[in-house]
Each structure stands twice: as C-alpha cells, then as structure tokens.
Structure 1
Amino acid sequence: MTIQAFRGLLLVLFFLCSAASSQAAPYAAYVMDARDGTVLHARNHDTRLHPASLTKMMTLYLVFDAIEQGKLSLDQKIPISKYAASKPPSKLGLRAGSSIELRYLIRASAVKSANDAAAALAEAVSGSEPAFARKMTATARAMGMDNTTFKNASGLTQQGHLSTARDMAILGRQLFYDFPQYYNLFSRRSTNAKIKTVRNTNRRLLDAYEGADGIKTGYTSAAGFNLVASAKRGQERVIVSMFGGSSSSARNARVAELMDLGFNRMPSRKAESRPRRIRVPDGTGGNTLIASADTSLKTSPRPRLRAGVRSGDAAAQVIASAVSRALEDQQLPQINVAKNAPVEVAAAEPLLPAAMSPRRRPKGLTVAALTPTDTVQNRAPLEAKSVRADNRGTYVVQLGGQHNRSNAERLLLTTALQEMEALEGSQRDLQPTGQPGWYRARFVGLSAQAAETACARLAAARQTPCQVLTGG
C-alpha cells in the first residue's frame, strides 16, 4: 500500500468516526396532551440528557416573570457585558459596552436561539449567569421538573447541565399557559432584533406541519438535534419533546410522526386542567407568585407593534419562505395508532434514519410563486381562500386602495398570516375595480364586531390602511 493510499484510508476512517459520533446522542421522546398533561407516548423520557437550547425556554420564562412583576420592562435598555458578548454562536452579535432594549434580546433568544442574548437576559434578571442558573433550577423544581439541573442560560454544553424529555415537555406546557401573551414569539418565522432581522430555527417544521405554532429547537454535538414542539387542531393541542435527532430533517420528521401519534391517541373533547401556579424564587429567600394570565388555551394574543415599527420586510420573508421552500420527497415509516389506543412506555427506541421529512403543510399556505409574466391575462380568476369554514357574517375588511393582481394576492396572504386570530372565519377575495388589471383586496364573511376588531388591529400595527364595509 502506498503512503498516499494509506493516508486516504485514514482520512476515510476519520470521517466515518466523526459521522458516527455526531449521531451518538441518546434518543428520548415524550408526547403530552397539553390540555391536562396526560402522557400519550414516551421513550427514555426520564433519562438525563443535554437539553441544548431547549434551555432557553426557562430563560425566557423567568424573563417574562420579571416583566410581569415590574422588575423589567420591554423598552428597558440592557447593558451588554464582555461576558455576554463573548458567548459562542449562535449569537446576535452584541458588542461589549453597548446596550439594547430588552424586547430585542427576547426576540433573539426565542427566534434565533442567540447565546449572547440569553446571557444578557440572565445578567439583567439576576446579575450574573451562575445566579440566574440557580434560579432556573429552583424554578424547575417548583414545576415538577425533578430531573433537571441548569448551569447556564443558553444550553451550551456544561458539566451537570442536564434535563429530560418529560421535564422539557412540562416546561413547554407551563410556558404556554403562564405567558400566552408572549407565546406567539415562538411561531414567528422571522423578527426584527434591532441589530438585524433573525430567522426562526424552527421555521421548517412550522411551515410543514399543520397547526404547529412553536416552541424551541436545540442543538449541540453532545445533545444532537432536540426539539420541543406544539401544535393545535380544533380543541386538541399536543406537545412533543424529543432529544437526540441525527439531523434537523430527521428530528422534524420524527416530531411530525409523534404529533400525529398524539392527535390520534387523545380524545377530541376533554376538560382543561391548567398547570398549578408556581412560586419563582426572588433571590432573597422568599418567593414571588407568578401572576398567570387568565387566558384560555385556544387563544394566544399577538402584542401590538409599537409606533414606527414596520412589519413589511418580515412579512415578505414569510411569504417567500412559504412559497419557495420545497419539502423533501423522502418519507418516514408510519406509526399506525388507533384513536385512544393504550399508551406504551418503553425503555429505549433507536433513532430513525436521517433522511426523513415532515409531510404536512398548513392549509391555506400552498400558493404558486409569482413571476414577472404572471399577469391577469394568463391566470384563472382568484377563488376565495377560506381561513376557516365557519364564517357566517356579511361584513368586509377592505385593505388600502387599488392593487395589481400580484400585489393584491400578496397583501391578502401576508395579512392573513399575520392576523390569523383577528381574521378567523373570513375569506380572501379580489374585487375588480372596473379598471383592467386592478383589484381591491378584501376579507369577506366577517361579523360586524370581528371586522371592526380586525381593522383596528391592522391600523394599530400600521400594516395597511383598511375600512369596514357591509353587504359582502
């Protein structure tokens, strides 16, 4: 064997060993009915593993609590320490000695999973990251996360920083119920973080799985590809926690299968049983009672944009992502489960092959990409696209003035995606103006109250001028 051939063999062995080590993270999963916390499926769910950036769910939970208690405010400028700025990627790019509003640190942590932002949040709440980590662990114990110990705010690998699939599902449910006013952060495909616009690390699953609306991804070489995800269909909501995926596509596909399993097993109707209120340590030996919002499971209010904040750029990215991203053709093995089948909790389950992809896509998001030649002359008339089929009203929300067909369709889809709650039950509609090639963009089929609410929300967000009309 020549020296060159021997070196080539060593190189091949090195890459094979590297590939094997990258898939060596243990697998664990936990599927929960979010309405009452019932376990629907579990594998290795109490095995202590590296949570990676799932950790940031607790970081954000404590920040939201500090805001509720009046200790912090969204517009408060947070100084950036050398320690926070030195955190490794993923990061926002904060500079030591600078300052930035709290709201942008929250967005960067929730959407981009920025480690420098998480460290800055920890210092804002507790003065230092070690003190914040102790508060995180104490809060986890109060939630019933008995197998979790936090050592930092970001989830970077550190000795003793461990959690379980069950504990992270518990945390995801508590976050959803205690702070619904902030929950929509986790479903934003992109957001303005002041320094730059950041994209959601979970956007592929959000786009691919019907009803998915959060929550948090995580990855380190020690942890593998982790995810806590939530999805809602009708009155049913499932939370899935998964550790140890071999790739992001394998993780997303497996979580999609686990969500299907959960929806198949849970009853359509069930009395809601909210998680108990907990007391968050205040750092002085006492406790502070969290003021949980009295908001039902079916709502997740969207905070109104501040004056001067424009959402057009982010909306364009949402549309471009939804229109252009093609799902992979490879499919997962099916998990065939009868509705309400008994739950089996087993000790171990091997990782599925890496070449997997979720197969569902949200209803109402499948649209053809627009091209410069895509004009009114060579396209069929637009059919009304129902956001939901239970509309019975006769009021109309009309957006702006006249638009060409492409811009009108884009405006309707952008608005529908951003204001799903306000426009629930409406249909998208293009009304010819009488001038060839020009249309009015409208949402029809709303009640008077719903139409007025939707128009008020759009005006408050300065998204687009609108008016309420009657008569369909």
Structure 2
Amino acid sequence: MRQALSGIVSKSTSPLRTIMIVAMAMTFVIADAASSLAARQAAIVIDAKTGKVLYSADADGRRYPASLTKMMTLYLTFEALAKGKINRASPVSFSSHAAAQAPTKLGVKAGGSVTVDTAILSVVTKSANDSATALAEMLGGTESNFARMMTAKARQLGMNGTVFRNANGLPDPGQFTTARDMATLGIALREHFPQYYGYFSQRSFLYGRQRINGHNRLLGRIKGVDGIKTGYTRASGFNLVSSVSIGNRRLVGVVMGGTSGSSRDNQMAALINTYLPRASTRGGGDLVARADGKNPIKALADAFLPKQDAPTSNDEPIEVASADSSVGDHPAMDQANGDGEENTEVVEQKPAVAARKVKTVIVSAPKVATAQVVAAYAEPTPAPTVDPVNTASVPSGWAIQVASSPKQSEAQALLDKTSKEAPRVLAQASGFTVAFEKGGVTYYRARFGGFGSKTAAWKACTALKKKNIECYAVQQ
C-alpha cells in the first residue's frame, strides 16, 4: 500500500490532491489497525435450549481465559459438593502458596481458612485468586494436579480446545481456551448444577464488616442476565461469559479480547438484544455430557445461598493500600499478573458518602471448623497406579476397603453408592480408588480414608456391616 501511495503522490502536482491522498492513507492505516485489533477478538452466542450457534466470530481461535478459568474451578467444586465430598461449611485452608497469589484476592493469611461457601462467593464476585488456589489445593492436593483434573474434565465436557495450568487464570502461556469451549462450560454449569448456579447471580456479599462487590456489570443492567463470569489480563483482553434467561428463551454468550470493560459489556449487550428474539422457545434436554451420567439435582438456588454475613475473625483488617476511586473499566495495577478489572473491590461498609472509598486490605483468617478436609478427588503427587481425575488423595493412616473391581468406573460407582447409603458413618471420610495388578490384570480397590486410628476405622466398618455393607479396615 505504501508503494502504491508513493507512486500516486509522485504523480500528483496539486497540493490539495496531495493532502487528500495523505488523508486517504491515514484512513487505510486506521482501518488496518482496527482490522488487526478485531482479529484478536472472539465471540459466540448459543441457544442454550437447542445448542444452535446463533452468532460466531473466531469462536475456535485460541485465547487466554484469564479469570474465566475460575468457572472450571467452580465446576469441580460444585461437583464435590453434589457428591457429598465436601459441604458449604467445610474449611478451606490457605497455604503459603495460595496466600501468595497476586491480587485480586481475599487476603487470607497463610494458615488461615474460610468456609467453602465464602470461598465460592469470593471467587464469583471478587474473582479472588487466593481463594481459587485454596479450593484447588483442597480438592486436588496441589494446584498443578488440580489443573490436570480441570483439563480432564474439560475433555469430558467436549472442550477440546482448552488446557488449564492453574486454578485462577493468572498468566501462563500454556493455559488457553476458545470462546466455544467457554460457552460449553457456561451451559454445563447451569445444566449440571442448577442447585448451585444461583451463586453466579450474586452481585455482592458481606465478608464480616466489608461488602465485596462483583464486576459483572450486566447483572441488573440487562434484563434476564443471571451470570456468569468476567476476566481480564493484558494478554487476554477483557473477557465475559453471560447467561440470559427470559421466558422460554435462554442464551449463553461469550466475548473475549475486548479492549475495555465497557466496550466488551456493550458488545455483549448488543449480541443479547440481537439474538435473544431469535432463540427457540422450545427444545431442551442435555446439550453437554453429564459428569456422572445422572440427571442434575433439581433444587431452588436460593436455598443454597447465604442467609447471613460471611464470618470473619474479630481482628481488624490491616490496610495496605487505598485510593479514592470509582471502579472503572481500566486496570488499576500492572496486569501482567492478575485480573485488573477485579482489583479494587473490597469496600469499607460505611454510611452513605459522596464518593466511595476503595481499599485493598488483608483480612485475618476467620476461625472456622478445624476438621481436616482431605483432597476430594486426586492424589497430590499423581502416580501411575492412582487415577488422577476421579479419585481422592490416598490419605495416610487407616482406611476402609468396601470392594475391588477390574473397572475403575465400577469402583467409583461403589464408593458413591456406599456414601449415599451411609452418609453419617462416612461424613468425615473421603473415597478414593487405588489400582493394583494381579495376573496381568489391573484392578481397582474402592476405599474410604481419613480415619485417624485403627479403632476409628474398625468402628466405622462395624457400622457399615450393620447396614449390610461388607468392608474391612486397612492401614495405608
């Protein structure tokens, strides 16, 4: 283009014509820049009742997920809740690794803990990186192992263009996804866990004396929007997954690579306004694979949402930085390491004032139940003989074996069945499978671990036998 323009200019003798040609050249340059920028963006709109793609723009192009990553972290958390591996009051401990995650974060000190309920709320609203990592370590033993579980679950759901390396979406060149995969995950969260999906509608929650506000600005702005998640890093741009439900129509939309929070939100609003009227009022049924092959539990979401303030310790927060600012569209910090969009979200709860004072604080760890929660799924240091996706960590101490099977799926099914038949007996236990070879055939032992002594394991086994469940105690 430069050569062509220089040729035209060299043939032009009129100053006015030269000015016009230069103006034309600037128009081409601006258009080229806009085209290049658009190539970085991706979007998709799916009819969430039929699975029909209503709009697509580079939906299969590789993108960095940023905090959309936390959608999968929450998927696995909801799965653990639904299976009874954990409950909303279970303590989530913060290791030094979790506590050291870059902002935005809840600010729990190393060694502290919050409940699963508080951790989920902080991930949904504040996009807390430390809470996401703490959940990952609770469920997977280590964050890296949990990331493998996330990727395996993505494949199970049909998300073939996604790889996870961490639980919170902080920058990692090996972590990527697509707009289509994020739409699939958004649909799966609603379909598989309707009893927990209401968390994504939370616009804020109280953490002790502090109100933590969310960043999904379409909640309350666009009729029918009920979630799901925002995200931002410098490499990813501004991302958003939105779910919309009005009457008999349902959509899931994804916008990735926006240049600002406001432009991304406006783009999503335009997509919703354009394509919601085109969504089917019929249809229905499963659009994505179910994690366990069963129908989701039908329950009202508000039955699982908090009825009171999230507990914190009695210690006063320690202020580490402050600024008088309203939350805008642009990051307030160097975003090589975090979601700037969610960076300034812990707000002091005070009487109404002219301007909102935004502070970043460190909150001392709440004092919650001290019972240890073992990893709900995976061996912290995966070995070839331990399934890394569907099993629990192999705890030290004593365990109860209830069965063995040549199929891991059957062993896992027996664990799930036993958990349902004896929930009180196994309330503090965690199911897992361990592979072993015999006669050249691989078998899987189905066991429950977490017993602190031989006596405790024997006592639990005796209680199981009274329910006609055969078992025996074994030391790990």
Structure 2 CA distance for aligned equivalents of residues 300 and 249 of structure 1: 32
1:18-37 equivalences in 2 (<5 Å): 26-37=40-51
Partner in structure 1 of residue 196 of structure 2: 182
Structure 2 CA distance for aligned equivalents of residues 310 and 248 of structure 1: 28
Structure 2 CA distance for aligned equivalents of residues 186 and 228 of structure 1: 11
Deviation digits for residues 175-230 of structure 1 (CA, Å, limit 9, x no counterpart): 0111111111111110134584311110x211211111100000000000000001
Partner AA of 1:274 in structure 2: D
CA 1:310/1:122 → structure 2, altered by over 3 Å: closer, same or farther? closer
CA 1:72/1:255 → structure 2, altered by over 3 Å: closer, same or farther? same
Q: Which has the larger radius of gyration?
A: 2
Q: CA deviation at 1:294?
A: 4.4
2:134 paired with 1:138 = no
Contact 2:207–2:310 (CA<8 Å) still a contact in 1?
no
Partner in structure 1 of residue 296 of structure 2: 293
Contact 1:23–1:245 (CA<8 Å) still a contact in 2?
no
2:222 is aligned, of 193, 209, 217, to: 209
2:128 paired with 1:125 = no
Structure 1 CA distance for aligned equivalents of residues 307 and 69 of structure 2: 32
Partner in structure 1 of residue 290 of structure 2: 278
CA 1:210/1:101 → structure 2, altered by over 3 Å: closer, same or farther? same
2:104 paired with 1:90 = yes
2:166 is aligned, of 131, 148, 152, to: 152
Contact 1:33–1:39 (CA<8 Å) still a contact in 2?
yes
CA 1:166/1:79 → structure 2, altered by over 3 Å: closer, same or farther? same
Structure 2 CA distance for aligned equivalents of residues 104 and 168 of structure 1: 24
Q: State, as a whole percentage, how many aligned pairs show the same letter.
A: 43
Q: CA deviation at 1:261?
A: 2.2
Contact 1:27–1:44 (CA<8 Å) still a contact in 2?
yes
Q: CA deviation at 1:264?
A: 2.9
Contact 2:232–2:238 (CA<8 Å) still a contact in 1?
yes
5+ residue gaps, structure 2, are 1-32, 312-325, 330-351, 353-476
Contact 1:186–1:216 (CA<8 Å) still a contact in 2?
yes
Deviation digits for residues 275-322 of structure 1 (CA, Å, limit 9, x no counterpart): 34434xxxxxxxxx2654243xxx8521256676599xxxxxxxxxxx
Contact 1:25–1:245 (CA<8 Å) still a contact in 2?
no
1:107 is aligned, of 116, 121, 127, to: 121
Tell me the secondary structure at the aligned position of residue 228 of structure 2.
Answer: strand
Partner in structure 2 of residue 78 of structure 1: 92
Contact 2:69–2:167 (CA<8 Å) still a contact in 1?
yes
Of 269-278 and 176-185, deviating more is 269-278
CA 1:219/1:307 → structure 2, altered by over 3 Å: closer, same or farther? closer
2:79 paired with 1:65 = yes
Structure 2 CA distance for aligned equivalents of residues 310 and 245 of structure 1: 33
Structure 2 CA distance for aligned equivalents of residues 206 and 305 of structure 1: 17
Give the root-mean-square deviation of aligned CA atoms: 3.0
Contact 1:143–1:171 (CA<8 Å) still a contact in 2?
yes
Contact 2:41–2:257 (CA<8 Å) still a contact in 1?
yes
Partner in structure 1 of residue 62 of structure 2: 48
CA 1:292/1:115 → structure 2, altered by over 3 Å: closer, same or farther? farther
Structure 2 CA distance for aligned equivalents of residues 212 and 49 of structure 1: 24
Partner in structure 1 of residue 268 of structure 2: 255
Tell me the secondary structure at the aligned position of residue 206 of structure 1.
Answer: coil
Partner in structure 2 of residue 455 of structure 1: none
Contact 1:92–1:195 (CA<8 Å) still a contact in 2?
no
The TM-score, its normalising length taken from structure 2, stands at 0.56
Q: CA deviation at 1:110?
A: 1.1
The TM-score, its normalising length taken from structure 1, stands at 0.56
2:275 paired with 1:265 = no
Tell me the secondary structure at the aligned position of residue 207 of structure 1.
Answer: coil
CA 1:78/1:290 → structure 2, altered by over 3 Å: closer, same or farther? farther
Contact 1:34–1:238 (CA<8 Å) still a contact in 2?
yes
Partner AA of 1:47 in structure 2: G
Q: CA deviation at 1:260?
A: 1.6
Partner in structure 1 of residue 253 of structure 2: 240
CA 1:192/1:309 → structure 2, altered by over 3 Å: closer, same or farther? closer
CA 1:131/1:56 → structure 2, altered by over 3 Å: closer, same or farther? same
Partner AA of 1:187 in structure 2: S
Structure 1 CA distance for aligned equivalents of residues 248 and 63 of structure 2: 32
1:324-339 equivalences in 2 (<5 Å): none
Partner in structure 2 of residue 222 of structure 1: 235
5+ residue gaps, structure 1, are 1-18, 280-288, 312-324, 329-369, 371-472
Partner AA of 1:171 in structure 2: L
CA 1:305/1:49 → structure 2, altered by over 3 Å: closer, same or farther? closer
Q: CA deviation at 1:240?
A: 0.3
Tell me the secondary structure at the aligned position of residue 229 of structure 1.
Answer: strand
How many pairs were matched up? 284
Contact 2:208–2:309 (CA<8 Å) still a contact in 1?
no
Structure 1 CA distance for aligned equivalents of residues 113 and 89 of structure 2: 11
Deviation digits for residues 329-366 of structure 1 (CA, Å, limit 9, x no counterpart): xxxxxxxxxxxxxxxxxxxxxxxxxxxxxxxxxxxxxx
Partner AA of 2:200 in structure 1: F
Deviation digits for residues 429-449 of structure 1 (CA, Å, limit 9, x no counterpart): xxxxxxxxxxxxxxxxxxxxx
Partner AA of 2:115 in structure 1: E
Contact 2:206–2:310 (CA<8 Å) still a contact in 1?
no
1:197 is aligned, of 211, 220, 229, to: 211
Tell me the secondary structure at the aligned position of residue 184 of structure 2.
Answer: helix
Structure 1 CA distance for aligned equivalents of residues 100 and 39 of structure 2: 27
Contact 1:218–1:227 (CA<8 Å) still a contact in 2?
yes
